Every structure is written in C-alpha cells, then in structure tokens.
Amino acid sequence: MARNDEEQHSRSKQADVEQELFERLTAGEMEERNKEEQATAILPPKYEVRIQADCEPVAEETKLYRTMARELDDRYDKYMKEDAPSPSSRQPGKSE
C-alpha cells in the first residue's frame, strides 16, 4: 500500500512539473522574426566554398606519432601508402 502511495505521489509530482513546463513554454508572446529576414534565412547559399588542402592532416599526424612510438600492428600502412604522392601525380613546376 505504501508503494502505491509512492507511485501516486511520483506521478502527481511529474504531472506538476509537466504542467509548469507547459506554462513556461506557452506563456507570453511568441517572438516573431521579420518575414523578409526569415525568407532569406531559409534559402540555400548561392555559392559553396571548398578548400583544397596541400596535405592530409591524418597522414601528417600519423607520421608524427610514428616518429615517437612503434605501432603494434600495421593497420595504417595501407592508408599511408595511398597517401604518399607518386612522382607522376606531382604538378610540374611545383617544388617541394
């Protein structure tokens, strides 16, 4: 019987909290944005900015860690081989 009273009290408390939350969320006037600003805010951007990186940050970090410690397995070897620039992929006139 005491357990039933505890459950009822818990439900009552939860209902009170939900009611207070409802009142706080619905009280007062809703903030209305300027319709013109709102319309332009939802439009997708006309241009997309893309940046081409000169190096791969993950590969650079892996190289750095390999200078400090030895790996137990070779799980990153394949990735590092793919990242290594081949002589034919280098751009002419660009010195490294």
CA–CA gap between residue 59 and residue 28 (Å, rounded): 54
Residue 65 counted as domain residue: yes
What is the predicted pLDDT for the residue at 86?
Answer: 54
Q: Residue 65: which domain range?
A: 57-85
CA–CA gap between residue 66 and residue 58 (Å, rounded): 12
What is the predicted pLDDT for the residue at 73?
Answer: 82
pLDDT along the chain (96 residues), means of 10: 77 90 81 78 82 85 86 76 58 47
Residue 42 counted as domain residue: no
Domain count, the chain: 1
Residue 38 counted as domain residue: no
Residue 94 counted as domain residue: no
Residue 75 counted as domain residue: yes
> What angle is formed at CA 52 by the lines to CA 47 and CA 54, rounded to 5 degrees?
165
Judge if pTM exceeds 0.75. no
What is the predicted pLDDT for the residue at 83?
Answer: 61
